[in-house]
Amino acid sequence: MQILNTVSDLRAVVKAWRKAGDTIAFVPTMGNLHAGHIDLVNKAKASADRVVVSIFVNPTQFGVGEDFLTYPRTEQADQEQLLGVGTDALFLPAVTDIFSSDAATAITVSGISERYCGAFRPGHFSGVATVVCKLFNIVQPDKALFGLKDFQQLTVIKTMVRDLNIPVDIIPVETVREDSGLALSSRNGYLSVAEKQVAPELNRVLRVAKDAILAGQLSIAEIEQQALATLEKFGFKSDYFSVCRSQDLTAATLEDKEIVILAAAKLGKTRLIDNIYFSKGV
């Protein structure tokens, strides 16, 4: 596995691969890798000749008072995991390699970025869209793989790629979960032992809401209100619990067929997100 720290070094390696006719898959991460990340890498390896993984804790997607400085950084362990699954190249840049001190350009995906997590984390998705666009320009992959756990982030990136005609195929990958149903996340390490026992309730409440929608006996508003009340009972402080159209993340009605339920809630000091998406059929 080649470890590359500068844009010029990475581009030189990618240029050689291109000359050899290799296809390239890309997995962008912020490190502190877990089984979900490794699943992305394995699926990337199955889809292309070469795999590039980036580890970059992007300061522009963290808001004031968020955990940029304390975000878990485990570079040595991450490198060992990536080497173990046959990653071809690890891009490990410094902030100054990605953002110049006088950078004046940012990308905003209007509408989608302003709802749900975007409403509670102003500027977050602009930071995500900008760094992902920059990484796509640096790596120039044929494919890029993203987990479905952050469904809104995935939708923002897919919209950006479409609108800017970026020649990369976005491949969504199912969320990897613990046996309890808790979605794997680098931030799960913030949970106390007691909180770790409660955290799977977020996914359970999502599944209950799905069943209620399919049953069709309650309104969307009633389903959302019941879910919020249940989460509060378990000690969560919810940011939102929203039933949406999966195509554009606007509010869903019982007549809509393609549904995603998005949820974000704090348990103690840890902010958890999850979702469940499904089709109601014909």
Asked if residues 186 and 32 have their Cβ atoms less than 8 Å apart, the reply is yes
Report, as an integer, the average pLDDT of 84-88.
98
124 catalytic per annotation: no
> Which token pair is 252?
């869903």
Q: Express each pLDDT in 227-279 by its tens digit.
A: 999 999 999 999 999 999 999 999 999 899 999 999 999 999 999 999 999 99
- Is residue 41 over pLDDT 80? yes
Report, as an integer, the average pLDDT of 69-83.
95
CB atoms within 10 A of CB 73: 14
Residues β-bridged to residue 52: 26, 89
Q: What pLDDT is recorded for position 282?
A: 55
Catalytic member of 37, 115, 134, 143: 37
DSSP class of residue 35?
H
Q: Express each pLDDT in 204-221 by its tens digit.
A: 999 999 999 999 999 999
Domains and CATH numbers, the chain: 2-173 (3.40.50.620), 186-274 (3.30.1300.10)
Closest Cα partner for 244 from 215, 225, 224?
224
Residues β-bridged to residue 276: 261
Mean pLDDT of the chain: 96
Contacts of 19 (CB under 8 A, 6+ apart): none
DSSP class of residue 182?
P
> Which token pair is 54?
């980036």
Q: Express each pLDDT in 145-183 by its tens digit.
A: 999 999 999 999 999 999 999 999 999 999 999 999 999
- With cut-offs at 50, 70 and 90, classify the pLDDT of residue 281: confident
Residues β-bridged to residue 28: 54
Look up residue 198 and give its amino acid: V
CA angle 241, 250, 225 (to 5 degrees): 25
- pTM (2 d.p.): 0.95
- With cut-offs at 50, 70 and 90, classify the pLDDT of residue 200: very high
